Structure 1
């Protein structure tokens, strides 16, 4: 199973976003894997500051449970100053509808 989604960076935060992800905390990597996430990639459209994420997951419910972990909420807080977020500091994230896939 796989997911595609988009998020939005604040203007001028492209380098900071990339820098923070290049130093992704080990605890976040472990949480992602423990909740069934693999092959996680995020792309940036620099014309619009839109981020496009792709991740392969084992199970939708298992993946959703990762949002309620302490390390995930800490990451959301850490990232909240450079991207659009909801009131709980989660990123404003829009799921994308798959329209084509080729193995």
Structure 2
């Protein structure tokens, strides 16, 4: 025969309630950690997306700057080559003119 008193039954019941509350707290803590980790993961993904987008834009801007620099370099090279050719033509014309003058001076009769 069971001779448990009401106090013992209440004590056991109260003990079970405490155990259940402890279990619930452990589950709640586990859930809280899971949710915190999930939030951190989502924030990290969002931050990563922002950083990746900035990187993509920077790479595109750098590509454009390199292209413009290359075009500017080509333009400067063409202008330089044109100036070199122009100066070479002027120098050739000056040499030719000098030779013509020297030839005329040599052909003049002595007075």
TM-score class normalised by the smaller sequence: under 0.3
Structure number with the bigger relative contact order (C-alpha 8 A, sep ≥ 6) is 1
Normalised by the length of structure 2, the TM-score is: 0.15
Which structure dedicates a bigger proportion of its chain to strand?
Answer: 1
Which structure dedicates a bigger proportion of its chain to helix?
Answer: 2
Higher alpha-carbon Rg: 2
